[in-house]
Amino acid sequence: MSIGKTRAFSWTACLTLSLGIVAVASAQSVPTPAAPQSGQAKPAILLETLSWDEAEHILTADTVVVIALGAESKEHGRHLQLNNDFLMAEYLKKRVLAAAPQNVVVAPTINYSFYPAFLEYPGSTSVSIDTARTMITDIVHSLAHYGPRRFYILNTGISTLRPLAQAAAGLAKDNILLRYTDLTKDDPVEKKVRQSGGTHADEIETSMMLYIAPETVRMNRAIRDLNPDQPGGLTRDPNGKGTYSTTGAWGDPTLATREKGQAVVESLVATILKDIDELRRASLSTTPSVSQ
């Protein structure tokens, strides 16, 4: 064998030996996946990011399933976008994930529901109360089939409270707890910062969006629109049934500030996280109720 061939053989042998050592070391360094343990505390996770077999280990009797509910096509005056509630729901969902409470799975956001009060304003969309109730019930039943018995709706509407209450009552018969955010409950922080009345695209909701998604708020288009409250939804007809509103807002969004929004949003997030923790600890014999 010539000197050149000897050197080539030696280099090849060394390379082969080195690659073999690296392969062995790499194989030894790969950890063996641990089998999921039933009842083990897990951080909050997005259901949609899992494969079905991963979901099988996560959806247990100890799991709380959180479902955000926010209209993606519903008027909010001339200064806020149609997807206002959806943006709020997505934001609250992210805050729940960031807080990472134990054994919480966040399901995909529901972007349609019962919003009959806004249909005179183009782009607004609503389903019937029966459809809204059935949609929630069917989604919950589907996920409960895999183990979970506790569900929390991150609710961003007012008219949605009726179908949610009906769904909770029906699910209780199957020993499933459904609770949800009720924005009509008094919040001491909101009462402290509020300067005017109204409930829709008003001072408070606009302030919240200045904190959550300021790029979506057009304050140059915000005007006071706070006519007397009348039975029914909002109406563009001054002689129509309901509360007259030319803009689709009911309140005074011109008073909105980011500072007010921050105070109200942080208070709401704290309440939601408290509600979820209480639901996680609740006995299944407890009668479902709205969040406190």
Domain containing residue 201: 45-281
**Is position 92 within any domain?**
yes
CA distances from 219 to 124, 172, 175, 208, 279 (A): 21, 44, 47, 13, 38
Residue 273 predicted with pLDDT over 50: yes
**Is position 53 within any domain?**
yes
Domain total of the chain = 1
- Assigned token pair, 89: 């729901």
**Is position 272 within any domain?**
yes
* Mean pLDDT of the 60-80 span: 97
**Is position 96 within any domain?**
yes
**Is position 160 within any domain?**
yes
Q: What is the pLDDT of the chain when averaged over all its residues? A: 87
Q: What is the pLDDT confidence band of residue 285, given thresholds at 50, 70 and 90? A: low
Q: What is the dihedral of CA 146, 152, 153, 158, to 10 degrees?
A: 150
Range with the poorest average pLDDT among 33-42, 106-115, 227-236, 253-262: 33-42
Q: Which residue has the higher pLDDT, 16 or 156?
A: 156
Q: What would the pLDDT profile of 76-116 be if each residue is shown by its tens digit? A: 999 999 999 999 999 999 999 998 677 999 999 999 999 99
Predicted local confidence at residue 288, as pLDDT: 44
CATH code for the domain in which residue 257 is found: 3.40.50.10310
Residue 157 predicted with pLDDT over 50: yes
Predicted local confidence at residue 203, as pLDDT: 98
Predicted local confidence at residue 102, as pLDDT: 76
Confidence (pTM): 0.83
Q: What would the pLDDT profile of 244-265 be if each residue is shown by its tens digit? A: 999 999 999 999 999 999 999 9
Neighbours of 33 (CB within 10 A): 6
Q: What is the pLDDT confidence band of residue 43, given thresholds at 50, 70 and 90? A: confident
**Is position 11 within any domain?**
no
**Is position 257 within any domain?**
yes
Q: What is the dihedral of CA 128, 129, 134, 135, to 10 degrees?
A: 70
SS3 135: helix
**Is position 110 within any domain?**
yes
* Mean pLDDT of the 7-17 span: 39
Query: What CA–CA distance (Å, rounded) separates 203 from 49?
Result: 36
